[in-house]
Structure 1
Amino acid sequence: MTYDFRDKVILVTGGAGGIGSALCHRFAAGGARLVVVDIDEARAGRTAGELPGSGHVGLGCDLLERAGVELMLDGVAATHGRIDVLVNNVGMTSSERFDARSVESIEREIDLNLVSPLVTTRLAIPLLRASADPRVITTVSLGGIFPLGETPVYTASKFGLRGAMLAIGLDLRSKGIQAGSVLPSATDTRMLRQEAVEGGNSMQFQDAPQQPSDVVRAAVSLLDKPRLEAYVRPGESRLVRCALLAPNLLPRLFPLFRKRGERGMARYLEDLRRRGLARQVGGRWELVEEA
């Protein structure tokens, strides 16, 4: 069955980012009306203004501020009266190692990646119930299955988010709301580029990063065929799930993949250089800000 986007009200958090904006463009192309939510109100407005069709709006909202989320949803209620699809797409990571990070940065990353999608989903329940066919899609990560040594806080948040959304999907299904998650691996977005120039987790670069359009296809597949999880690269998902059957072997397995990952990261950085997105200054990599 192919999902009918026409006249659907779809709210996307992190909607001005690489994956978020790609999702918004795909949904709008199908005839949906998008509510693009991003902490950067100007970027949210620009993204909404670039979408095909009409009826789109860009809203600035800090999802860590409950009062702001409530105010944002009140505005959606006044304008649309419902949400047909809620897409929890906001996320962040940091290349700072755990033993050097501030406690405040740990709390912020957990709150944004794990707590804010749960709070947003809970507060949106009345608007979802007003839809004839309510859906929730959450962007998780293969980092929600496989531990990433360099980014343990991101791993913790995504492990928690995956578990929470599996449970929420089971709970809400009997109440008429279909909820599922997309689990992408490394995706060519600004977040990954920043991590690469900062020398982040090389394990992500076993293969070339996928594109936001790949994640979009997985998300659309959840709408076409509702289920608890969809994997962008099924082969990768099987590999990481098998690896977790014997977690005590991970310290032996990691060195086998480390060199390949480091070579993959080097190739990715060179690709960013060719595309004019990164450069080396004094032997250090840095991003070139896009216009």
Structure 2
Amino acid sequence: MSYDYRDRVIVVTGGAGDIAGAFIVPAAARGARIAVVDIRGEQAERAAAALPGAAHRGYACDLTDEAAVRGLVERLAADHGRIDVLVNNVGMTSSERFDERSVESIRTEIEVNLLSPLVLTRLAIPLLRASRDPRVITTVSLGGIFPLGETPIYTASKFGLRGAMLSIGLDLAGKGIRAGSVLPSATDTRMLRQEAIDGGNSLQFQDPPQPPESVARAMMRLLDRPRLEAYPRVSESLLVRFAMLMPNALPRLMRLFRRRGERGMARFLAELERDGKVRREDGTLVLAEVER
């Protein structure tokens, strides 16, 4: 199968981010109408304006605010009348350790990563049903299979999101809506760069981070061949699923892989600094990019 993007209405959350950008450009080039949704309204509008074609629009929305999400759905209904593909791509992480971070920050991360995709998907059901071939694609993470010790709230949110989307995919399949998830490993995005600077989870750097385009291609494969899950790096998915057959062995496995991951994270940061993507200010690394 090869998905026909022509005149399809594709709504992408986290739309001004790196993974979304790698997806919406080829989707627009194939004839889709893109609705770029981001909490940063100006960036969403710029991302939409930069796409080939003239039918694209940017929408500002705080997806943790139910009233705002309802308003977004109303605007999408007025502008497009339907949603052919909903891409739940919004996400965040924090390198604050569990025993040090605030309860408020825990609630925020769960709200962004887990609850907001579920709420938007639920509220978008009428617009999805207005499509001849409705789809839902959700960006989860291999952190939805394998626990990341330094980022337990991210892990909790992604474990929950993976389970919810598997269940939703099973439930909605009989109602004409096909839902699937992409589970990427570490991806070279602004979020990962900041996490590396902050001393985040070193286990993600066993191998060099993949480019956002790899995740976007996995999304497109889900449209070409619908299924419940897709993995940009299949070998990594097999490794983490095998490791989870023996959860009590995880403390020993972590020790084996942590040192390699720390070396990989150091190489990643060195490459970012060499390429001018991070810079030093008073001896501290900071992101060099101007925020889009």
Q: Do both proteins adopt the same fold according to a TM-score greater than 0.5, normalized to the shorter chain?
A: yes
Alignment: residue pair count:
291
Which digits, 9 at most, give the CA deviation of each residue in 1:97-143, with x for residues without a partner?
A: 00000000000000110000000000000000000000000000000
Which digits, 9 at most, give the CA deviation of each residue in 1:184-227, with x for residues without a partner?
A: 00000000000011111110000000011000110000000000
CA–CA distance in structure 2, aligned partners of residues 86 and 2 of structure 1:
18
**Residue 132 of structure 2 corresponds to which residue in structure 1?**
132
CA–CA distance in structure 1, aligned partners of residues 209 and 260 of structure 2:
14
Q: Kindly report which structure 2 residues correspond to 1:87-126, keeping only aligned pairs within 5 A, or say none.
A: 87-126=87-126
2:210 alignment partner, SS class: coil
Residue 20 of structure 1: CA displacement?
Answer: 1.1
CA–CA distance in structure 2, aligned partners of residues 203 and 125 of structure 1:
37
**Residue 51 of structure 2 corresponds to which residue in structure 1?**
51
Q: Does 1:152 align with 2:123?
A: no
CA–CA distance in structure 2, aligned partners of residues 281 and 80 of structure 1:
46
CA–CA distance in structure 2, aligned partners of residues 54 and 175 of structure 1:
33
Using the size of structure 2 for normalisation, the TM-score is 0.98
CA–CA distance in structure 2, aligned partners of residues 269 and 79 of structure 1:
43
CA–CA distance in structure 1, aligned partners of residues 217 and 24 of structure 2:
12
**Residue 236 of structure 2 corresponds to which residue in structure 1?**
236
CA–CA distance in structure 1, aligned partners of residues 82 and 178 of structure 2:
15
Residue 33 of structure 1: CA displacement?
Answer: 0.3
Query: Structure 2: which amino acid aligns with 1:37?
Result: V
- Quote the sequence identity (%): 68
Query: Structure 2: which amino acid aligns with 1:61?
Result: C
Q: Kindly report which structure 2 residues correspond to 1:1-291, keeping only aligned pairs within 5 A, or say none.
A: 1-290=1-290
CA–CA distance in structure 2, aligned partners of residues 217 and 42 of structure 1:
26
Query: Structure 1: which amino acid aligns with 2:41?
Result: E
Residue 258 of structure 1: CA displacement?
Answer: 0.8
Residue 91 of structure 1: CA displacement?
Answer: 0.1
Residue 22 of structure 1: CA displacement?
Answer: 1.4
List runs of 5+ in structure 1 lacking aligned partners. Answer: none
Do 1:206 and 1:264's aligned partners in 2 also have CA atoms closer than 8 Å?
A: yes
CA–CA distance in structure 1, aligned partners of residues 145 and 198 of structure 2:
24
Do 1:82 and 1:130's aligned partners in 2 also have CA atoms closer than 8 Å?
A: yes
Structure 1 runs, 4 residues or longer, greater than 4 Å off: none
CA–CA distance in structure 2, aligned partners of residues 32 and 223 of structure 1:
13
CA–CA distance in structure 1, aligned partners of residues 161 and 192 of structure 2:
19
CA–CA distance in structure 1, aligned partners of residues 118 and 129 of structure 2:
16
Query: Structure 1: which amino acid aligns with 2:78?
Result: A
CA–CA distance in structure 2, aligned partners of residues 232 and 40 of structure 1:
27
CA–CA distance in structure 1, aligned partners of residues 65 and 181 of structure 2:
24
Do 1:7 and 1:32's aligned partners in 2 also have CA atoms closer than 8 Å?
A: yes
Query: Structure 2: which amino acid aligns with 1:77?
Result: A
CA–CA distance in structure 1, aligned partners of residues 282 and 249 of structure 2:
39
Query: Structure 2: which amino acid aligns with 1:15?
Result: G
Using the size of structure 1 for normalisation, the TM-score is 0.99
Query: Structure 2: which amino acid aligns with 1:222?
Result: L
Do 1:109 and 1:157's aligned partners in 2 also have CA atoms closer than 8 Å?
A: yes
CA–CA distance in structure 2, aligned partners of residues 283 and 199 of structure 1:
15
Query: Structure 2: which amino acid aligns with 1:190?
Result: R
CA–CA distance in structure 2, aligned partners of residues 266 and 108 of structure 1:
29
Residue 23 of structure 1: CA displacement?
Answer: 1.3
CA–CA distance in structure 1, aligned partners of residues 67 and 87 of structure 2:
20
List runs of 5+ in structure 2 lacking aligned partners. Answer: none
